[in-house]
Structure 1
């Protein structure tokens, strides 16, 4: 591992010096095979060279043409080569590496390919490239699901394991997340070893994790005069970034764009909620009385009360506590979610099982599991989630108090699992395929086809005369009868 660390350190120095203006545009990629499987050696690119999409595709094609076609793709949200040089024991801290399982797999592999700089658009396309080479669809997995799956060495399989990445002012927070990802890699490799299935493993990311200026200051590799700067310069720049972030938040609040509701379990964010409008209405005396919950939930200086909320690996519950809503002193809006594995799709999904209203000892429950769902690693977003007018939420039963209530969420987005970095993951939108524009195009095309069909039908019905008047012969006389 010392050799690998020296390679990574030298690559870091080369890229900071030669590509300081582009250092935040690349991610590393590592490819290795299981023990006993040897691939033809591939020369890594020269120092300073950035691997593009076509070149990466050629590397993968040469590896998969000879190597195992059971591919394990460990796809991290963010990653840069500096994560390995800083947390992998490259600076004399070998006993406290964040990647012991990864290092062990690389050292024991007979075939190893390390690409220090892959353009992140190319790394984003790696799933599609592998899918084309293997001619199979990707399966999004976790270690628990893999242990129940039986692979066949003769049949290709593309197993994708999504890994988070945490950032923050505390450098150890990123290290802890990377260490947790390394444990996941170790569990997956142990399961594959127990099943005696040969595999090709790839570890890369969707986008870079660190900025060029921050890398230079943290690693002590800054270019030019920055080498003479004191460490305090980094703290000053960090405070400036914090002030800029606060200023941007104030601008967003004034423009009506505010931060989401965030529930943390310890130091980790596990539930996020955002909406342009949250409102509830109750039927009283034949009239609907409404209340807007948005000002009490979102905006600058607003801290909603979240006591009663909870989250774990399978269930999450976000509880928003209010006072004085429609005459009820204590009022709660509850979002209950669950996550489970579905065998048909071979992946995990999360569903919004229920939206509950609690007031004065009464509970009104709306069922949302039939319409509000998304892959477990995604968030869910919808322009409108209501219990009326094309409802997505339905009362639990005909006798449920929910029949006297209406709930409406506009520009609604929620995520109850796999939250990384305090930001929403990729959103699974509720918009259907047949949008109004598509319907208009289909109806117009259908009308034009009908007109064309009618015209062809009329032309085909034309008949010529079977008798004509000859000007050279006697005229045709038509006797007239009275």
Structure 2
């Protein structure tokens, strides 16, 4: 097992990679058998929540038996696996030895297992939904895993064990913006938002889009309409992805329909993905002195952090982007033009569990208000420190007469 490749914690292992680089090499050994423990739902965050990982003297929490076996034998952890059931199904169809399934210890005890017979044993663990409490379900399954491993050890069987889930935990990676129910302060007129799924490889969520076109003395406000098909022309590759939003809308102060296109160019950079640039295109009605036409106008992102961990989605509750007239002088007449995205979230890479992963928000760690508070505090502390030093440097007069000593007499001379 020492020849197995290490897995990156940020790059998911596909089902084909799991089968080719991990399962098949183990099964090629003639004397090696395998036991697969399958839980219904398992997420890497379950180990953070229930394994007592923050305690130095931890016994493993709900995973104490699994932790002990991993420490006593050579072990390898794969943090992210895409569709492990697909790899297991392919392994079952190509496995040359005996194939067994079990749901209890008694089922395993009845099996004809011998040290010289190669077998693949698939153990179905208790679903967490049946128990109700997930931590309790994991604790029961961990005890079940321990009892089976000890039983096989007593029988002198050499095997490799694998513990995984059939799918990630439900709602483990859902973002609040995809919630479809009613919020506490939501009115009947409140628009929750539109979710766009592009072939399962790109997810976009958007509540509302407003474009403010300003050129010279003309100000046009376009309220764009977002539909589930707005992102259908988006495209994702191995290292790049283009998220294209095609919208239509009407203006409050002009006649005719407008078409709005917002283009997000993103790149996959190993352990992160980055929004390289955002382009805005607007086509207005042909009639009128000013039809508000823009073609691939670059938008300023200001101090917004557009670098996102590779497994995460990007989220911004209110995103206001102005036309970048500094880099493109031809857009100087549109210098006050901006587009406002309300409730925006997207993930162009590594969609897992058919849901958004945890989101990185556009609000930085240090906002302007925080910086104002920090600088104000520094100034006040500097004044306090300066005043304290001045007080500490004060010295009292030491030229007073000592009442118990000899009187100081200063002789006076007459001119």
Give, in whole Å, the separation in 2 of the partners of 1:127 and 1:213.
21
Give, in whole Å, the separation in 2 of the partners of 1:308 and 1:324.
21
- Report whether the alignment pairs 1:423 with 2:355: yes
Among 459, 462, 467, the residue aligned to 2:392: 459
Give, in whole Å, the separation in 1 of the partners of 2:265 and 2:35.
42
Deviations 1:152-179 (A, max 9, x none): xxxxxx99774445xxxxxxxx96xx45
| Alpha-carbon shift at residue 382 of structure 1 (Å) | 2.9
2:213 is matched with which residue? 282
| Alpha-carbon shift at residue 359 of structure 1 (Å) | 0.3
In the TM superposition, 1:56-135 aligns within 5 A as: 71-73=6-8, 100-101=19-20, 102-108=22-28, 121=45, 123-124=47-48
Q: CA RMSD in A?
A: 5.0
Matched length: 288
What SS is found at the alignment partner of 1:72? coil
TM-score of the aligned structures, taking structure 2 as reference length: 0.52
1:403 is matched with which residue? 335
Deviations 1:434-469 (A, max 9, x none): 233465256336523531342223322314323426
1:309 is matched with which residue? 233
| Alpha-carbon shift at residue 379 of structure 1 (Å) | 1.4
1:212 is matched with which residue? 129
- Bigger share in helix: 1
Give, in whole Å, the separation in 1 of the partners of 2:11 and 2:201.
18
2:283 is matched with which residue? 359
Give, in whole Å, the separation in 2 of the partners of 1:442 and 1:111.
64
- Report whether the alignment pairs 1:434 with 2:366: yes
What SS is found at the alignment partner of 2:329? coil
1:381 is matched with which residue? 315
Give, in whole Å, the separation in 2 of the partners of 1:455 and 1:433.
33
1:271 is matched with which residue? 203
Give, in whole Å, the separation in 1 of the partners of 2:2 and 2:80.
19
2:163 is matched with which residue? none
CA, structure 1 residues 250+465, in 2 after alignment: closer, same or farther (shift >3 Å)? closer
CA, structure 1 residues 419+474, in 2 after alignment: closer, same or farther (shift >3 Å)? closer
CA, structure 1 residues 100+120, in 2 after alignment: closer, same or farther (shift >3 Å)? closer
The answer to whether the 8 Å contact 1:352/1:369 transfers is no
Give, in whole Å, the separation in 2 of the partners of 1:437 and 1:377.
28
In the TM superposition, 1:298-377 aligns within 5 A as: 303=227, 305-306=229-230, 309-313=233-237, 314-325=240-251, 327-341=255-269, 346-360=270-284, 362-367=294-299, 371=304, 372-377=306-311
| Alpha-carbon shift at residue 399 of structure 1 (Å) | 0.6
CA, structure 1 residues 319+108, in 2 after alignment: closer, same or farther (shift >3 Å)? same
CA, structure 1 residues 115+460, in 2 after alignment: closer, same or farther (shift >3 Å)? farther
The answer to whether the 8 Å contact 2:215/2:334 transfers is no
Give, in whole Å, the separation in 2 of the partners of 1:254 and 1:417.
34
Give, in whole Å, the separation in 2 of the partners of 1:368 and 1:270.
23
- Report whether the alignment pairs 1:447 with 2:380: yes
Give, in whole Å, the separation in 1 of the partners of 2:378 and 2:204.
43
2:153 is matched with which residue? none
CA, structure 1 residues 405+98, in 2 after alignment: closer, same or farther (shift >3 Å)? closer
| Alpha-carbon shift at residue 120 of structure 1 (Å) | 5.7
The answer to whether the 8 Å contact 2:201/2:236 transfers is no
| Alpha-carbon shift at residue 478 of structure 1 (Å) | 9.4
The answer to whether the 8 Å contact 1:271/1:316 transfers is no
CA, structure 1 residues 431+180, in 2 after alignment: closer, same or farther (shift >3 Å)? farther
Give, in whole Å, the separation in 1 of the partners of 2:89 and 2:357.
17
| Alpha-carbon shift at residue 334 of structure 1 (Å) | 1.7
| Alpha-carbon shift at residue 272 of structure 1 (Å) | 0.9
Gap regions ≥5 residues in structure 1:
1-31, 36-69, 79-87, 89-96, 133-157, 166-173, 184-207, 216-247, 298-302
TM-score of the aligned structures, taking structure 1 as reference length: 0.46
